[in-house]
Amino acid sequence: MKEIVRYQKKNGNSYLVTFLDGSVTLYDDVIVRHELLLKKKLSDKEYEEILKENMALASYYEGVSYLSKKERTEKEVVSYLKKKDYSKESIDKTITRLKKENLLNESRYVECFFKDAVKFSSDGPEKLKRKLLDLGIQEDLIEKELSCIDDNVWIEKVQKLVEKKVSSNHKDSVNSLKQKLGNYLYQKGYSKEYFIDVLNSLNSKNSQELLEKEKNKLIQKLERKYAGKELEFQVKRKLYQKGFSREEIDEVMSWK
């Protein structure tokens, strides 16, 4: 048997309820629902039920607070509440209530996620999809939202990424650059369909300028050791190793 001695108001909507053998903090909803203000004594069974209900309510309020900062997935909320040491029963009740009140809505989460990704992220659809799957989002929800995004959105992102890489490239031939860019874009989450045309459109002007620079640098370096046809052979070999094609090399090499 538990006998209530006094109530003390705490911050927010909770009270410190003191019993003869100790104190617990209870929410006013629980106090009102169980008419504790009219009761002085509780059976052990009543006391355990009140604690369990209070725990579920605490879990719910914690979930509401967590969601008030930003949209979250169910997996994120569950993980957060587990770290707070709430019971599985309390967490399950919390998730059910949050969904019912539309505070936890994964369809809305995915929609907001992709809106932000389109505006602020350079990642492609596959990488974004993997992030959502890791967050516990169902694949059909992801695919549904992805289908609403025009392919040109991803192609424009690819073009910007490629332009940035090309402008900072000072040593790779077009062929070598294309290969590196292809790997880079794939890792960023873009499938071949989004970048193949962009890479194929890279012109050879940049490559020729680079080839001329590399050729001159190699000649300066290797002419101390080689001359004539041997120098020509060594320069061509080095240029080929750097990713320039034989046709490109033959075009810029002129030996008197």
Task: State the DSSP string of 99-149.
Answer: HHTTSS-HHHHHHHHHHHHHHH----HHHHHHHHHHTT--HHHHHHHHTTS
Highest mean pLDDT among 164-173, 185-194, 199-208: 185-194
What is the average per-residue pLDDT within 213-241?
A: 78
pLDDT at 147 over 70: yes
For residue 130, what are its two tokens?
Answer: 């993997």
Task: Give Cβ neighbours of residue 63 (< 8 Å, ≥ 6 apart).
Answer: 77, 80, 81, 94, 95, 98, 103, 104
Residue 208: what pLDDT? 64
What is the average per-residue pLDDT within 60-65?
A: 96
Q: How confident is the model at residue 201 (pLDDT cuts 50, 70, 90)?
A: confident
Average per-residue pLDDT for the chain:
88
Q: How confident is the model at residue 256 (pLDDT cuts 50, 70, 90)?
A: very low
**Cα 56 to Cα 101: distance, rounded to the nearest angstrom:** 16
Q: How confident is the model at residue 94 (pLDDT cuts 50, 70, 90)?
A: very high
**Cα 18 to Cα 4: distance, rounded to the nearest angstrom:** 6
Q: DSSP label at 245? A: -
- Are 188 and 161 spatial neighbours (Cβ–Cβ below 8 Å)? yes
Which of 254, 183, 180, 241 shows the shortest CA–CA distance to 212?
254
With H, G, I as helix, E, B as strand and everything else as coil, classify residue 81.
helix
